[in-house]
């Protein structure tokens, strides 16, 4: 029996849609902190926005999102948030413009996990946990079911408890975040700018070394690529806030 042109177009569309769903990368975000978080998401290059840009995640809860091939973006935790019924409000750390559904990135200091997902099934994914913008919440990334190096990336240590006084962000008497040295001092040697804008002229500082010693698999400053960029192919990913459970 001949297939009509309309039926053929429908079949091709169905194959395209189901093929892309089958190739989607699944992100599972779980909150092991002892308090509620409001994770934020930001997509790059016009890619699909996951979780409407931001949402509430209670202690012990988890949520899943599917990202299409080629997706790139970041996730982070917001803490101490208060929103009204319209989604307007603010957060003590990681705020993204005073709204539940972020349309921009989280305000430093904030711990980030960044992803670039491969466009084709055999392409590598690239991911990292970054403390370049400072630290607010412990963060870990585990690859699930992929192949290749597929390293664990993260910062399990509680840097707020060991943050130098000059980098602390304090709210109600408690340290809620730890600034990067760049944010604290705005100097080229800490920000890798001006005469320090290359890997050869921007070396680790006492502050980035402190971050690196506490969290060896996380970016500690702008040119910390060698030990901090992870790759995996064909994987889903588990993103855990407070992976040590100590938050």
Give per-residue pLDDT as tens, 112-145. Answer: 999 999 999 899 999 999 999 999 999 999 999 9
* Cα 128 to Cα 151: distance, rounded to the nearest angstrom: 10
Q: What integer pLDDT is reported at residue 245 of this predicted model? A: 53
pLDDT at res. 217: 86
Distance, in Å, from the CA atom of 224 to the CA atom of 5, rounded to the nearest integer, reads 55
Range of the domain at 59: 26-241
**Closest C-alpha to 52, from 17, 12, 99:** 99
Our count of domains for the chain comes to 1
What residue ranges of the chain have pLDDT lower than 50? 1-21
Is-contact 83 100, C-beta < 8 A?
yes
Classify residue 18: in a domain, yes or no: no
Task: Evaluate whether residue 13 is within a structural domain.
Answer: no
Q: How many CA atoms lie within 13 A of 111 on its CB side?
A: 32
The closest alpha carbon to 181, from 17, 171, 196, belongs to: 196
For residue 4, being part of any structural domain is answered with no
| Residue 8 confidence (pLDDT) | 40
Residue 5 lies in a domain: no
What is the SS3 assignment for 204? coil
Distance separating alpha carbons of residues 168 and 203, to the nearest angstrom: 23
In a domain, 3, yes or no: no
Q: Is 247 domain-assigned?
A: no
Pick the closest to residue 207 from 225, 227, 192, 226 (CA basis). Answer: 192
pLDDT tens digits for 199-236?
A: 899 988 999 999 999 998 888 888 887 778 999 999 99
Rounded to whole angstroms, the Cα distance separating 24 from 220 reads 30
Q: Domain containing 69 — which CATH number? A: 2.60.110.10
What pLDDT does residue 15 have? 37
Specify the pLDDT at position 116.
96
Please check whether residue 227 lies inside any domain of the structure: yes
């Amino acid at each position: 029996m001949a297939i009509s042109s309309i039926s053929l177009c429908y079949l091709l569309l169905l194959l395209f849609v189901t093929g892309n769903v089958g190739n989607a990368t699944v992100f599972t975000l779980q909150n092991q902190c002892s308090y509620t978080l409001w994770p934020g998401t930001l997509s790059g290059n016009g890619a699909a926005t996951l979780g409407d840009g931001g949402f509430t995640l209670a202690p012990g809860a988890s949520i899943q999102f599917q990202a299409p091939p080629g997706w790139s973006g970041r996730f982070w935790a917001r803490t101490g948030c208060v929103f009204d019924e319209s989604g307007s409000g603010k957060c003590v750390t990681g705020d993204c413009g005073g709204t539940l559904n972020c349309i921009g990135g989280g305000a430093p200091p904030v711990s980030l996990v960044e992803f670039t997902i491969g466009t084709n099934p055999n392409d590598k994914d690239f991911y990292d946990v970054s403390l370049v913008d400072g630290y607010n919440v412990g963060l870990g990334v585990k690859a699930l079911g992929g192949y290749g190096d597929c390293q664990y990336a993260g910062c399990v240590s509680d840097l707020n408890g060991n943050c130098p006084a000059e980098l602390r962000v304090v709210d109600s008497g408690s340290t809620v975040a730890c600034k990067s040295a760049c944010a604290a001092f705005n100097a080229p040697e800490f920000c890798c700018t001006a005469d320090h804008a290359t890997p050869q002229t921007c070396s680790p500082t006492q502050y980035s070394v402190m971050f690196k010693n506490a969290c060896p698999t996380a970016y500690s400053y702008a040119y910390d690529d060698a030990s901090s960029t992870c790759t995996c192919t064909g994987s889903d990913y588990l993103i855990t806030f407070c992976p040590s459970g100590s938050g």
